[in-house]
Structure 1
């Protein structure tokens, strides 16, 4: 498996670089926006980037399936499965806000084992392979050692669903007890968490394609990455609770201890 992961990491990094060139071209030139059936936007940048990524990944690891944001899944039952969001943060992209990225992850028998996260406007790239640590532009990174909520920096992303039940009050209490609250969103707060700049990320409305690569990166940086119920990420995951080990444990206890109104 080591040889496969070496080959896969090289391909994923190459694919992220190729996608960055495509995305930056359209970032400078501008694009028309199409609204998909689920009322989310898509552009030619999304679609061209995914096709380019698929070509590189398929050539490097033909035995793997690919599940992509724009072109769906060809086979999710294979031993290896690529998860690809070519332009995560399209809403930011079309509004000229640079909080978007390319996310490429690899699953092996349902477990996330590799992740590459590329933010082309920022020139940032992070990657990780199971058991090998997490890296930011070639330098190994580690989450902070923060252990007390009073010292914690919390960042929220999309938390619309969370506002509908008692967990919203639990989150509010954590914010009151924390050191500070931010809302970086998208790739940005996960990169900061893995590099020690944040201590907790909470999101209740995501796709696994948005966060699969970031899950590997945060875990390999020494953090804990689950859904908001404490479960490991799966293809069906729709929420995230990620943080330093101590802060994640306290946040999970607070959120799961809240009574959810039905």
Structure 2
């Protein structure tokens, strides 16, 4: 089913408004350093700021779309609908806890299993990216002042190529893939580990050329998938698999470079 542009525009306004609402509480906690840190069952940290932000996001989205379903990092799945909002209120909680601004609020909309909208809001870092399917990708400081962005035109690895990696623990345990990654690094000009939201923002605006991560979940990157794709890039799992709720790895870049990396990593 093709979604009307008017619906996507309205959903995007709601997503920006939800990100704004979350940002108020996140900023207050971050700057005051007045939060307790708990450890979840998966050994990752959570704070009251995470929970409050998720609740704030849902209040806004539910007011706009009361019949939709929700999948949040802190509260899990709620509701049953062809429309599913994916929410990570603070992606990068470890950075938030340690006091450096590499964390973001991730909000995406999935319709019948396909991601159609994404907002990645990194308020303390000072930028936000967003996109809707067929509507292009944008970068700004909020949802009202964006400029259109595109991935780089890189087609092969070389002295000017920049690769960024995220969590690579499981890839490091696979000798074949680890050696394949080493081969890509040896052929590139720069290797960085920007991680979290940042390397996808950089990728979508053409500042770096390839992102490789072997350990993540869909809530970490759902809106960034839409942003990268609408900026002209390709976003898949490391083995070329489709992006769905079971996603656990990422390979993203311009079409030609993505294909080259995929051939090396998935062989």
Q: Write the deviation string for residues 169-220 of structure 1: whole angstroms up to 9, x where unpaired.
A: 1001100001110000000000000000010000010010000000000000
2:217 matches 1:207: yes
Query: Counterparts of 1:1-262 in structure 2 under 5 Å?
Result: 1-2=3-4, 3-30=6-33, 31-75=35-79, 77-137=80-140, 138-150=146-158, 151-165=160-174, 166-257=176-267
Q: Aligned residues, how many? A: 256
Structure 2: distance between partners of 1:18 and 1:123:
16
Q: Alignment partner of 1:162: what SS?
A: helix
Q: 1:126–1:135: 8 Å Cα contact kept in structure 2?
A: yes
Question: Shift of the alpha carbon at 1:65?
Answer: 0.3
Q: Alignment partner of 2:208: what SS?
A: coil
Structure 2: distance between partners of 1:38 and 1:179:
36
Question: Shift of the alpha carbon at 1:238?
Answer: 0.5
Question: Shift of the alpha carbon at 1:101?
Answer: 0.1
Q: Alignment partner of 2:207: what SS?
A: coil
Structure 2: distance between partners of 1:39 and 1:73:
20
Q: 1:101–1:119: 8 Å Cα contact kept in structure 2?
A: yes
Structure 1: distance between partners of 2:87 and 2:261:
29
Question: Shift of the alpha carbon at 1:147?
Answer: 1.1
Q: Alignment partner of 1:147: what SS?
A: coil
Structure 2: distance between partners of 1:57 and 1:91:
26
Instruction: Flag structure 2 segments of 5+ consecutive residues without an equivalent.
Output: 141-145
Structure 2: distance between partners of 1:140 and 1:178:
27
Q: Alignment partner of 1:148: what SS?
A: coil
Structure 2: distance between partners of 1:35 and 1:188:
24
Q: Write the deviation string for residues 107-161 of structure 1: whole angstroms up to 9, x where unpaired.
A: 0000000000000112211100000100001100000101111132100000100
Q: Alignment partner of 2:215: what SS?
A: coil
Structure 2: distance between partners of 1:116 and 1:254:
31
Q: Aligned Cα RMSD in Å?
A: 0.8
Question: Shift of the alpha carbon at 1:102?
Answer: 0.2
Question: Shift of the alpha carbon at 1:4?
Answer: 2.1
Instruction: Flag structure 1 segments of 5+ consecutive residues without an equivalent.
Output: 258-262
